[in-house]
Amino acid sequence: MTHPAGPLPPDAPAVCARHPDRPTGLSCARCGRPACTDCLREASVGYQCVDCVAEGNRSVRQGGARRGVTLAGAQQRSRARPIVTPVLVALNVLVFAWTVVQSGSLGGNYASALFQDWVLQSDDIAAGDWWRLVTAGFLHYGPLHLVFNMLALWVIGRDVETVLGRTRFLAVYLVSLLGGSAAVMLFSPNAAVAGASGAVFGLMGGLAVVLRRMRVPPSQAFGLIAVNIVISVVLPGISLAGHLGGLVVGAAATAALVYAPARNRNLVQAGAIAGLAVVALLAITLSL
């Protein structure tokens, strides 16, 4: 979440066995092969790929995304492609490009006026610049910081967005970003923090929860989280507090979405997300 880099994506992201052009963090509960959300079907034990379903000649309940309903209850066509994830990537890239133009430097873009107006600093928050809690998540210290975060967002975000639905995915992303900012305010108040890492860590936590909910072994997600926590500790200039704050809030938000009861589901989900945002804001207020 801070200079010089955010969470690193896996060295070789798994790709869907049937769609080699689609990186995915999901896999078939039966054969273990990587599979995208279009190739997974709900089975008696976890989610299985279409090949295993056909091979076993099972009568699979037509649920989840095949009915046009995501795991979290959002209405969505089964073949709908992620939109929020590429939009978020584009916004981050555009903001970075603008800071480069303003500063006249690719590596020293943090000297730009926009960067100085948006970066997360406790003194500015105390002075009333509350927008920095969110806008800092769209700033990056140099091209490597941007590339690492956007690669992780692209690989993880598309799977999580497809499972949760666009609106719920965006809610998890933003509340994770807020949770990361709150953790920074509480535990690293003197740092000038920027980057999408808190939100990306939130998606990592969300992916682990989604896999657990789908009864798919979440070992890959846990491994990814562990590697990136180690990187956050080992490399200098990285906000461990921001990463862990985003991770915890993102996992909690996703759990609230995918485990919400069918009755009054939307109300429960909205209340849970709002509650997490309020807790984060209260923590920030207490830190000032």
Annotated active-site positions, please?
A: 197, 243
* DSSP track, the chain: --SS--PPPPSS--B-SS-TT-B-S-B-TTT--B--GGGEEE-SSSEEEHHHHHHHT------GGGGTB-TTS-B--TTPPP-HHHHHHHHHHHHHHHHHHHHT-STTGGGSHHHHHHSB-HHHHHTT-TTHHHHGGG--SHHHHHHHHHHHHHHHHHHHHHHH-HHHHHHHHHHHHHHHHHHHHHH-TT--B--SHHHHHHHHHHHHHHHHHTT---HHHHHHHHHHHHHHHHSTT--HHHHHHHHHHHHHHHHHHHT--STTHHHHHHHHHHHHHHHHHHHHHHH-
d(CA 196, CA 191): 16
| Distance (Å, whole) CA 148 – CA 16 | 22
Length of the chain: 288
